[in-house]
């Protein structure tokens, strides 16, 4: 399967990393690696995340939890689209 990122998910990840980088650059790099490794696992195990209950029955939207972060993604026939990334303490408006 292919993995593609929405512009929002790229912005989200950049925002998360920049926020942490001000206090601890090492932690920011570690979190970036952990989240990227989690997303890469989706290529082999696309249904590893939990289903999002509010999604329509025909959509396969799931949440992958990586440490304190959530990666929301959509599974299609041949592609996984990463939709959003956020820290679990953030208000979920996704």
Q: Which of 33, 93, 43, 31 is nearest to 73 (CA)?
A: 43
Residue span of the structural domain in which 82 resides = 2-87
Domain count, the chain: 1
Q: Is the Cβ–Cβ distance between 89 and 68 less than 8 Å? A: yes
CATH of the domain at 12: 3.30.2310.20
- Residue 92 belongs to a domain: no
- pLDDT value at position 56? 63
**pTM: predicted TM-score of the whole model, two decimal places:** 0.87
pLDDT computed for residue 42 by the predictor: 96
- In tens digits, the chain (94 residues) has pLDDT values of 899 999 999 999 999 999 999 999 999 999 999 999 999 999 999 999 999 877 566 578 999 999 999 999 999 989 999 999 999 887 654 4
CA 37 – CA 58 distance, rounded (Å):
28
């Amino acid at each position: 399967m292919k993995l593609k990122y929405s512009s929002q998910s790229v912005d989200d990840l950049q925002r998360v990393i920049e926020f942490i980088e001000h206090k601890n650059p090492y932690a920011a790099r570690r979190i970036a690696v952990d989240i990227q490794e989690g997303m890469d696992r989706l290529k082999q195990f696309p249904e590893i995340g939990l289903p999002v209950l509010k999604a329509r029955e025909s959509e396969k939207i799931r949440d992958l939890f990586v440490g304190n972060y959530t990666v929301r993604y959509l599974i299609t026939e041949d592609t996984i689209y990463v939709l959003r990334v956020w820290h679990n303490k953030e208000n979920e408006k996704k």
